[in-house]
Amino acid sequence: MFEHEYADVNNICLHYITVGSGELIMFLHGFPEFWYEWKNQLAEFGKDYQAVAPDMRGYNLSSKPAEVEQYEMKYLVEDIRALAKQLGHKKFVLVAHDWGGGVAWPFAMRHPDYLKKLIIINAPHPLTFMRELRDNPAQRKASQYILVQRAPEAEELLAHNNYAVLVDSLLGNGLRQGYFTEEDRKAYIEAWSQPGALTGGLNYYRAAHLGPFIGESDELLSAEPSMFMVKVPTLVIWGEKDRYLLSGNLEGLEDYVSDLTVKRIPDGSHWVIHEKPDLINTYIRGFIED
């Protein structure tokens, strides 16, 4: 039974879905998704855990602060810490994809004492990503879309023709192959249509100053490496046909993650969670119950 709840945390209100009871497993979605990205995992892990998937700040039914600065990483990380605390859990499993992973990696660096295990799906560690943007022309080319997300006209472009660009990139293959339904399309369009939701999601890119630019990454890459170490047991699942985040992001990952397991899915794309939900669930369960 999916229950819709709201939590007042970190000066905003987060909407979240909770299923089941027991130890906490929390799922963080990416762009341009919302809690619904994890519906298959909520159903599976709600059998023997408290499975929770929030709408991240800026998305769907959660608060959408107007200022771009309100989407800086310190606020995104604190949202998750405060939500776990409000749910009454001192330690939990964190599972994340895409921008959710962009928040989960720093969360694990700053709050390792909160995490039993970390599971990342197609979301690069910040240092390997910055290195790839600097050194790998293919990753720079794959990241050109970020320039669109940061542009002032991004909302207009993405909302045009009933969100045609977003429908095609996220749902297109699934609608053709049958793992997405018309009901799914309606659910996503409804979430994108919430006032301010498109801007909220895009503000993650704007606040991060992310992009395929030589030079923007240098400051991060010259920082003290120990700040970026992850000491929590970590599983990284990677669909190797990701058009946006190339598999080079996995190289050298063991330098920053002391207890690392990697599962590559050769025929999985960036949206591997939707393409192969049963396999994803098997990998997650195998890792957290090991």
pLDDT digits (tens, 9 = 90+) for 226-253: 889 999 999 999 999 999 999 999 999 9
Helical packing angle, 197-208 and 73-86, nearest 10°: 120
Q: Is 255 a catalytic residue?
A: no
Total-model pTM: 0.96
Please, are residues 108 and 94 in contact by the beta-carbon 8 Å criterion? Answer: yes
Q: Which residue is catalytic, options 29, 89, 97, 98?
A: 98
One of 97, 125, 270, 274 is an active-site residue; which one?
270
Question: Strands of 260-265's sheet, edge to edge?
Answer: 3-9, 12-19, 50-54, 24-28, 92-97, 115-121, 234-239, 260-265
The pLDDT value recorded for residue 218 is 56
Q: What is the pLDDT of residue 209?
A: 79
C-alpha distances in Å from residue 84, one per residue of 27, 71, 89, 199: 11, 19, 6, 26
Which one of the listed residues 36, 59, 204, 205 is annotated catalytic?
A: 205
Domains identified in the chain and CATH numbers: 3-288 (3.40.50.1820)
Tell me whether residue 205 is one of the annotated catalytic residues. yes
Residue 120, CA distances (Å) to 28, 142, 184, 258, 274 in order: 10, 20, 24, 15, 15
Lowest mean pLDDT among 17-21, 23-27, 218-222, 272-276: 218-222
177 C-beta neighbours (distance < 10 Å), count:
9
- Is residue 278 part of the annotated active site? The answer reads no
